[in-house]
Structure 1
Amino acid sequence: MQKIPVIAVFDVGKTNKKLFLFNEHYQMVYERSARFTETVDEDGDPCENLESLRLSVFDSLREVFKRPEFEVKAINFSTYGASFVYVDDEGKPLCPLYNYLKPYPPQLLQRFYATYGGQEQLSKETASPVLGSLNSGLQLYRLKHEKPEVFNQVKYALHLPQYLSCLLSGEFCSDITSIGCHTHLWDYTQADYHAWVKQEGILDKLAPLRRSDEAFLASFSGNSYKVGVGLHDSSAALIPYLVNFHEPFALISTGTWCITLNPFNDAPLTSEELRQDCLCYLQYKGRPVKASRFFGGYEHEQQVKRLAAHFDQNIAEFKAVSYDPEVLQPLLQGQDLSTILRPPAENQEKPTFAERDLTAFASATEAYHQLILDLVIQQVRSTQLVVEGTNVKRIFVDGGFGKNSIYMHLLAAAFPEKEVYAASMAQATAIGTALAIHPHWNSKPLPTDIIELKYYAVTHQEA
């Protein structure tokens, strides 16, 4: 039997840890998932069970290598961001994998910004809103000042993807997609580490930067293969779009957060954009990606629960509600839809759905249309922050809202001058992680058919 050449991709989320095998056509041929119970750090705060994760990587690979039908050519990793593993000279962790939601000491935070130019200046230079522990550079600053005895033992602080990569390759490295994502470490104005990183002696604790499309030769259980350096998951999910589309586009990635990514906007962040929760990523080729976000998926989830309780319906029923212009019409109160969706600057403050009285709606369907209308108004405002003034011609929507016909029709109406598509691709993050090192394992050309698109016309009629 001829073996199928595959790449193994570990996609590590906060909740689910998955292993995928993709063949050379980027078809998934194997999947394995695991969930671990969180542990706690020395302060009693919840954190990732790093040892369980480490063992799971090796157990999963042993299982895969036993399967006679596959030939593993390469392995790569994508994980959630903002999480450091502090390792010694032998690559062994020195302390827990602290949670990026761990409360940050206010006095230490104040001291940091007072020393290095203030919140606004540092945020603009590093393209990072002030996020406490989510600014992973601040985690290093905290370790140095609160636990100097541990800090002094640290050989390298590795973001989680690079720690997992190191387990197999033995190579210590840093990756630009993790370093460049709201860490306070990277100075976008200088395209280099920020001056404070050097002044604090933290630069010495960061492993050498390697390109995201590099791979190391390694072996395990008698098998040789290439190991990628690992990627931050948000940047990995963008890669299939960068590979497939070369005309300027924006991607709205919808989940708990609705994040608009514009890889064709490299203008420096303004103070106003930072105040409105914009930030910058570095994509896998090292170029800036301006991004905006709002808590749309979470808000949708909370309000659907409220609707279900009020109208005595099952939450699942709302997934079946389709766009209906006649239901929407009374909600417009005689105004033009485009005016409501893109209000003038002086009329920005609109009521959120949480503030609305549900008794005002004739039916659950009408109320749900109002909920999505309110969310799309916020979405448009967020997306405009990174799209306006650029030559973006297409907007792609992936994730949950891409399957919501009300959301998609209203978004198309809000951007009549652009082509708006629902984009469907199973396991975009994992596929992007595999694509990053395509030449190292795949003998076939880059694929052009892995993203399924559904066009939404401004007329509100589905194409």
Structure 2
Amino acid sequence: MPQTPVIAIFDVGKTNKKLFLFNEQYEIVWEKTAQFPETIDDDGDPCEDVNRLSDWVRSSLKDVLALSEYSIKAVNFSAYGASFVHLDAEGKPVGYLYNYLKPFPAALRQQFYATYGSESDLSLQTASPALDSLNSGLMLYRLKYDKPALFERIDCSLHLPQYLSYLLTTKCFSDLTSIGCHTMLWDFQQHDYHQWVKNEEIDQILAPIFPADDVVSPTETYLPYPVGIGLHDSSAALIPYLASFQDSPFILISTGTWSISMNPFNASPITPEELQYDCLCFLQFRGQPVKASRLFAGYEHEQQTKRLAEHFALSTDYYKTVAYDPTIIQSLRTNRPTSGTNFDQVKNPPMQESLFRHRDLAHFQNYEEAYHQLMLDLVSQQLISTDLVLENSPVTRLFVDGGFSKNPIYMSLLAAAFPQTEVYAASVAQATALGAALAIHKHWNQQPLPREIVELKLYSVDSVTI
């Protein structure tokens, strides 16, 4: 029986570690998922168990190589960013895969910005909001001054996606999708590492930059297949859309805990106002900048639906049964219930919590009315957040994937909020892993890219306005 040619993709998230096999039509033909308990670092803070993760990658690949029905033609990786694995001169991990939520010492923060400029200036230059440990470059700065003995042992620091590739190839590379995503390492104006990185000689422990759409060839590794160097998950998730709609400018709103609006067709420099509203730029897999804005909408939705469930004595997922009702929307907009706060005096809604949490639920007749108001408040914020990256760019389509793409109220209100743009609910099976596979398509797959990678559902503009 002939073997099916496949590409193996490791997709490593904070919670779920996944391995997929995609066939030449980019259909998932095999998969496995694992979850590991966290360990603790030398400060007692939780962190990824890098040794256990490494063992899982090696053993899982060994398992799929033993599957007689598949022939592995390539391997690639996607993983969460803002996290470094440090290697010593022998190529072995040293220290810890420190958590990007790890508290950052206030004294070191003050020292850094006193030496290299204000938070606002550095944030503008590096297109990175000041996020402490989430700025992975600052974690290297911290090791240099907070843990100098450990820092002296580091020969090379690899972002997590590139470390996963290193496990197979033993080749050290850096990748622009990891370097260029809120790390404070990359100067977007100079298209190079920021001067502070060079002054601190941190660039000396960063591996050479390698194209994310290229591979380490079998002749370099003695492996029977090419290996990609891995991608930051945010950039990987954008690739299926770039592959499918490269001739039609779009914005992608990727929804989960965060709703992230990504515009690959807006290369304008980030502004102080955009930074204030949690905008950033990251680099897509071919090196072009992508302007993005973040909204904590999924988390806020989760918190407020719990509050609604408790108030109306219903299940926490009751919202899934609520259909879009334009008459409720019209009624709310005409006679909007308040909780004693004059919302009309608020120029812009707060971006990290919804107005809804300040509303008195007793003012609503039933769950359905209250839930429609919640969605009105969230989409009002989404309009502001997405407008920040729209900024007169030639966008004709707006795609929404993730949880809110399945919410008819959210989607209908969003279509009303952007009447000049086609608004689609988009569905891509395992977009992050698929993006990592598509990035190296030319190195393993002689078939043309399939046209139906992304499933779309158009939402027409309703008479309701935001």
- Give the TM-score normalised by the residue count of structure 1: 0.95
Structure 2 counterpart SS, 1:281: strand
What pairs up with 1:26-105 in 2 under 5 angstroms?
26-105=26-105
Matched residues in 2 for 1:294 and 1:286: separation? 25
Q: One-letter code of the match for 1:74?
A: A
CA contact (8 A) 1:81 1:233 kept: yes
Q: Distance in 2 between matches of 1:255 and 1:122?
A: 29
CA distance in 1, matches of 2:141, 2:96: 16
Give the equivalent residue in structure 2 for 1:422. 425
For residue 338 of structure 1, what is the aligned residue in structure 2? none
Question: Once the 2 structures are TM-superposed, how far is the Cα of residue 59 of structure 1 from its aligned partner?
Answer: 1.2
For structure 2, which runs of at least 5 residues remain unmatched after alignment? 337-342
Could you tell me whether the CA contact under 8 Å between 1:168 and 1:218 is conserved in 2?
no
Q: CA deviation at 1:147?
A: 1.6
| TM-aligned CA distance change 1:209 to 1:49, over 3 Å | same
* TM superposition outliers: structure 1 runs of 4+ over 2 Å: 343-351
RMSD: 1.9
* 2:19 counterpart SS class: strand
Which whole-Å CA distance do the structure 1 matches of 2:435 and 2:321 have between them? 30
Deviation at 1:97, TM superposition (A): 0.5
How far does residue 81 in structure 1 lie from its aligned partner after superposition?
0.6
SS of residue in 2 equivalent to 1:210: coil
Q: How far apart are the structure 2 equivalents of 1:80 and 1:199?
A: 28
Shift in Å, 1:344 = 10
Question: Equivalent residue for 1:160?
Answer: 160
Residue aligning to 2:25: 25
CA shift for structure 1 position 334 = 5.9
Q: Secondary structure at the match of 1:209?
A: coil
Structure 2 CA distance, aligned partners of 1:223 and 1:67?
17
Aligned-residue offset at 1:388: 2.5
Write out per-residue CA displacement over residues 386-444 of structure 1, whole angstroms, 9 at most, x where no aligned residue.
10221111100000000000000000000001111010111000000100000111110
Give the secondary-structure state (helix, strand or coil) at the position aligned to 2:274. helix
Shift of 1:333: 1.5
In 2, Cα distance between the equivalents of 1:166 and 1:460? 54
Residue 357 (structure 2) pairs with residue 354 (structure 1)? yes
Task: Determine if contact 1:409/1:460 at 8 Å carries over to the other structure.
Answer: no
1:169-202 deviations in whole A, cap 9, x for unaligned? 1110000000000000000000111011100010
Partner of 1:247: 248
Q: Secondary structure at the match of 1:133?
A: helix
AA at the equivalent of 1:459 = D
How many residues are matched?
454
Q: 1:322 maps to what in 2?
A: 323
Determine the C-alpha separation between the residues in 1 that align with 2:308 and 2:33. 33
Task: List aligned pairs for 1:397-416, cutoff 5 A.
Answer: 397-416=400-419
Distance 1:310 1:460 in 2: 31
Q: Distance in 2 between matches of 1:153 and 1:70?
A: 41
1:98-117 aligned at under 5 Å gives the runs 98-117=98-117
Q: 5 Å matches for 1:255-334?
A: 255-333=256-334
Given that 1:128 and 1:280 are in contact with CA atoms closer than 8 Å, whether structure 2 keeps it comes out as yes
The amino acid across from 2:455 in the alignment is E
Identical pairs, percent: 59
Task: Determine the C-alpha separation between the residues in 1 that align with 2:433 and 2:345.
Answer: 39
Aligned to 1:437: 440
- Is the aligned partner of 1:454 residue 2:457? yes
- Taking a change above 3 Å as real, the CA distance of residues 112 and 223 of structure 1, as seen in their structure-2 partners, is closer
Which residue matches 2:192?
192
How far apart in 2 are the matches of 1:83 and 1:353? 34
Residue matched to 1:393: 396
| Alignment check: 8 A CA contact 1:169 1:218 kept | no
What residue in structure 1 maps to residue 384 of structure 2?
381
> Could you list the per-position Cα deviations for residues 316-338 of structure 1 after superposition, in whole angstroms to 9, with x for gaps in the alignment?
22112121112222211169xxx
Name the amino acid aligned to 1:266.
A
| Counterpart Cα distance in 1 of 2:218 and 2:295 | 41
How far is 1:248 from its partner?
1.1
Residue 233 of structure 2 is matched in structure 1 by 233
Q: Residue by residue, what CA displacement relative to the aligned partner does 1:194-246 show, whole Å, maximum 9, x if unpaired?
A: 01110001000000000000111349x99611110100000000001111112
Q: Is the 8 A contact 1:85 1:93 kept in 2?
A: yes
Q: Secondary structure at the match of 1:152?
A: helix
Cα deviation per residue 1:66-107 (whole Å; 9 max; x = unaligned)?
A: 110000011111111100001012321111100000000011
Q: In structure 1, how many angstroms separate the alpha carbons of the residues matched to 2:438 and 2:344?
A: 42
8 Å contact kept, 1:280–1:289: yes
Q: Is residue 305–residue 317 contact of structure 2 (8 Å, CA) maintained in 1? A: no
- DSSP-derived class of the 2:63 partner: helix
Equivalent residue letter for 2:457: K
Name the aligned partner's letter for residue 10 of structure 2: F
Report the AA paired with residue 308 of structure 2.
Answer: L
Give runs of aligned pairs for residues 121-132 of structure 1, distance below 5 A.
Answer: 121-132=121-132
Match of residue 364, structure 1, among 367, 381, 384: 367
> 1:2 offset after TM fit, Å?
0.5
Which residues of structure 1 form unaligned runs of 5+?
336-342
